[in-house]
Structure formats: C-alpha cells, structure tokens
Structure 1
Amino acid sequence: MKPGSNINYGSLSTLIQELIDFEQELEENRHSLDFDLGLIMERGRGIRYMSTPPDVIPFARAGVDGLQYGFLTDFGIIADPAQAPVVCVSPMHWNGVWLVARNLQEFLSIVYTDNSPLIHYYEHTDAYLHDLARRQAPVYDERRQMVRELFRTRFGIQPIEDMVRYIKELRITRRRSIAVQTLNGLGVVPLSSEQHVHTPFSLPDTLLWERDGKRIRQFFLKASVESRLAFIRDAQTKHLFTDCSLRTFVTAQLRTMGMPDAADHLDESYYTVVMES
C-alpha cells in the first residue's frame, strides 16, 4: 500500500516510500530493518492508541512495547510533516508520548547512532548517561553491520556526534516554542495572533460527565484556544477520554475550532480499542 493513500505525508511521501521499499528489499534478502535497526514502517493507515495525540501522524513502529513514531503537527500549524518534530508514543508509559527528533532526517540519524532515546524516556540526560555506562559493548555482527551501512549510505545518514547535547537542545527548543505547558511535556504552541491569558483547568483523576460536564462546558466557552488544547492534552494523559460524553464534547469542540483531522484522530484512537476488544 502506497503511503499517502490513507495518510498524508506531504513532501515526505517519497522518502517514506523509499524507507518502505528498503524494508521490503531487506526482507527479500532475509535481512530486517526491524531486527537490525529497530524500525518497522507503517505500510497502511497505522494504528492509533488512546495515548496517540490527535495531532500526531504515525509513520513507523519500534517493534517493542507497542511503541510508535509519528509527526507532531501541533494541531495543524505544521501543514507539511517534513517540518514537523518526531515523537514516540508509548501505550505503556505514564505520560504516553515524548519528543525524540527535530525532523525525520534527524530521527533516522538517531536510529543509526543509538536508538535508546527512541524507546526509553530519559527524564534527565544523566539518566541517559547512566544507562549508557551500564551497557555492555555490543558483539560485532557482520551481517547487522552491513545492513546498518546500507541504511547509512542509502539515506545519507549523518551520525549524531553528541547525543546528550542533542537531547538537551531538542527539549530546550521545544520549551521555548510553547505557549502553555502540559502534563506530557509536549505543551501547546501559540495558535492565535491575539495576546492570550492561559486559564488552567484542574482535571480530576476520575471524570464523571454528570458531575464535571457543566464546568468543562463553561471552560471551553471562555478559555483561549491554547488553554482548550492544553485541556485536551492533559485529559488524554489522564486517560479521561474513555468517558464517551467527554470525548464526544471535545471532538465537537475541535471541529468548531477548525481542527476536523484532530477530531477524527481522537475518535479513531477509541474506535481501534473497541474493534480490538
């Protein structure tokens, strides 16, 4: 299935297809992009988890713990995924998602250099260094090294020289770009040209629409776009969209805000769960 038939990868469509073709070529020769580099390309629409943000477009998986990788479009502000940062979505991690690369090309560089920041969330770079120090030296594998070098030359990979510095700069840049912080660390970038005042909303750990619905409706009537989107990020982090009434209300709000794709994606995350159960 060609990329773009179900997902719009914009100007990255050709590169995504080249990665899929490379994966297939490896498989035909009894090699594996998954086994040798820890990457599985999405060849169809791609699954969405309850923790997959509605403004993320999945393009690949890690093959372990359900981890998936996607482009963060910041609720449509980034129209072309080529300009979008890459996040890891984890259905098993407490916050569900974290930033891993500035763009797809740098993501590929991390895959080649050291994919541990892609499959583990390091709250501080010291944790990464500690993990690095504990690892045993890898056993040389000629076949795997061949696949890695094919990957490097095929896609013009430049290894990340200083991973700690990369992780630090990636997070600093993101923090400086957001207008509102959120529980999962992604935050919300400025979406409106008007000066806005963030209105925080104290979300309960367990939501009952009969009890909390009125307060939520009033909040969405008065709060800025950025504050409403921060509510959505935090509600997803707390897994509150299992409440069908809240989800129905929020998807309607996203459509009212001119974000129909995000609304569809949020619904799709839960349709997938229903279909699988």
Structure 2
Amino acid sequence: MGEGDQAESSLLGTATGYFVQFDLNDNGGYSSSPADTIMFAGTGMDGIHFSFLTDFGSVTDLSLAPIIRVDPMDFGKCAKIVAKNIRDFFALHFSAHEGLLLNDFEAKEHYLAYLKEQEGDDEEENEYFDKKKWQRQKNEVRDNAMQRFGFQPILDGYAYMQEVRRARWNELIVTTSDGLGVTVWGTSVDCLNRPLPHPWHMKEIPKRKVERLKSYIASAEQAGLFGFIRDCQVLGVDDYEVIQAICDQLISLGLPLEAKRLAYCMDIS
C-alpha cells in the first residue's frame, strides 16, 4: 500500500478488528480458557478471545478445529462454540456478523433488533470520529478479504451458529457444565455404551476433598477425565495439588501441551 492507503486504514486499528496471534502454548491465560485450546485472536476488551478447540489432541489439523469464544467475565458460561472452523469464523466476521461472534442472543429476533440498533448508531454524527470513513474502510477490507481468501458470505449468521452448536451437541460423548462437552473425532460411540462422566457430573465438585479428587484423577477413564478438567476450570477448582495431578495425568496420556496450558492459566507453572 502507498502512504495514502496507510492513512486511510488508520481508523480501523487492525484489518480484522482483532489482535491476531498464534502460539501453541497460549490458550488465552485465563482460568476459564480451556486447556485444549489455542488462542488466535483477542478483542482487547474484557479479556475476550477466540481459540481453536483441539478436543484434547483429537483435532490435529487446525483448519478443521471448531472455533470458540472465551469471555472470562461471563461467569459460568465463559466458552461458546461460534464457528465450525477458522474459514467460517472469518466468513461470519466479513459477512457483518461481528456482533454475533461477540455476543449471545436468546432468539433470532433479538439479534435482528441488535443489528437494527447498530445501523441506527452508524448513522449518528460524531464530531470526534468519522463513522462514514470508518465504514468505508471496513467495506474495502471486507471485499478484499472475501475475494482474496474465497470466503463465501453467510447471510443468516444466527441460523448458522445455532446449527453449529446443535451439531456439536449431537457429537458429545460426555456433557460438561460449560457446554463444550467431550467428543472424540473420527469415532462413533454407541448411545447405549457412552463413557461414564466423572462422579460430580453436573454437581458441585468437592474442592476441599483433595485426596479424593486426586484418587479419581489417577484412575479416571479418559473421557471422564477430560470432562472433569472442563468442569474444574468452569467451577474454579484451583487447588495446586489437584491441578498438578491433572497436569501429570495429561502428560502420561501424551498431552504435554494441554498440561502446560492448564498449568499456565491456573497459575501453577
């Protein structure tokens, strides 16, 4: 780009509006950032970030990994599936569904009302900020990205996201309190022979019964352990001995990166 183009782009901050990064060791750094995720973008507000969900190493090709939003301030509901894969994530973004990626809406009419409200805000004059120039720059970036990367517009973003979340739910072999659950890619599980969840499934985990928790971790079946890890992160189980026992077990299962991320975000590294 020439100097004039750079000046024109200055109102956007970044081309996508996100702070893009990639580090295999970084899941976002919050206790609510799932251990089996890799952060690729942050919003710069309230700790909200977007990550690849690897399902504890089941997904080896990140282009196929589901994308989640982690909002550390949304206690108990911090992690949500937002796209089937990275291409769909950016297709949603450049199809003007940024608000859908950042927020949850109880019904489609609520989302449509939000969009209408946003349109009204864009039309308001602001002496401190040239919204028309900003919107023009956004449209230019959107058009260039859609053409360069071959993104297909997603017209009904709300329906798309609901379908992605339904599909995820149908794939789960163990449910968890954060809604992400546990699934195993590339395998089919008989509905009558699903693995058992951990003993405190959908209950309060007894944080003070450290030895009991450590005993479970040492003997847990893999799917139950993964569900236990998700619930520990959601419910704030942060005892050093418990988290260290989980990390040791993850390493024994051949998941050292997940162990490293968990130790980091639970502040025991």
TM-score by length of 2: 0.79
Between structure 1 and structure 2, the one with the greater Rg is: 2
Alpha-carbon deviations, 1:156-180, whole Å to 9, x = none?
Answer: 2222111121011101110011101
Alignment of 1:1-277 (within 5 A): 30-31=9-10, 34=13, 37-42=16-21, 46=26, 47-94=28-75, 95-113=77-95, 114-122=97-105, 124-125=107-108, 127-137=110-120, 138-139=122-123, 140=132, 141-190=135-184, 195-202=193-200, 204=204, 207-208=207-208, 212-241=209-238, 243-271=239-267
Q: Which moved more, 1:93-102 or 1:125-134?
A: 125-134
Q: Which has the higher contact order (CA 8 A, sep 6+)?
A: 2
Instruction: Name the CA distance, whole Å, in 2 between partners of 1:100 and 1:89.
Output: 10
How many residue pairs get aligned? The number is 245
- 1:14 alignment partner in structure 2: none
8 Å contact from structure 2 (residues 52, 68) kept in 1? yes
- In structure 2, relative to structure 1, the CA distance for the partners of 1:179 and 1:136 (3 Å cut) is same
- 1:19 alignment partner in structure 2: none
8 Å contact from structure 1 (residues 196, 224) kept in 2? no
- In structure 2, relative to structure 1, the CA distance for the partners of 1:253 and 1:130 (3 Å cut) is farther
Q: Give the letter aligned to residue 262 of structure 1.
A: E
Q: Give the letter aligned to residue 207 of structure 1.
A: K
- The CA RMSD measured in Å over matched residues stands at 2.9
Post-superposition shift, 1:34? 4.5
Post-superposition shift, 1:33? 5.4
- 1:9 alignment partner in structure 2: none
- In structure 2, relative to structure 1, the CA distance for the partners of 1:103 and 1:27 (3 Å cut) is farther
- In structure 2, relative to structure 1, the CA distance for the partners of 1:251 and 1:122 (3 Å cut) is farther
Q: Which moved more, 1:120-129 or 1:77-86?
A: 120-129
Instruction: Name the CA distance, whole Å, in 2 between partners of 1:121 and 1:79.
Output: 29
Alpha-carbon deviations, 1:115-156, whole Å to 9, x = none?
Answer: 112211335555434533544443443233223222322322
Instruction: Name the CA distance, whole Å, in 1 between partners of 2:154 and 2:180.
Output: 23
Please, which runs of 5 or more residues in structure 1 have no aligned partner? 1-21
- 1:4 alignment partner in structure 2: none
Post-superposition shift, 1:109? 0.8
SS of the equivalent of 1:57 reads strand
Percent identity between the aligned chains? 27
Alpha-carbon deviations, 1:222-247, whole Å to 9, x = none?
Answer: 44211111111001001212x21211
Please, which runs of 5 or more residues in structure 2 have no aligned partner? 124-131
8 Å contact from structure 2 (residues 205, 232) kept in 1? no
Instruction: Name the CA distance, whole Å, in 1 between partners of 2:177 and 2:13.
Output: 31
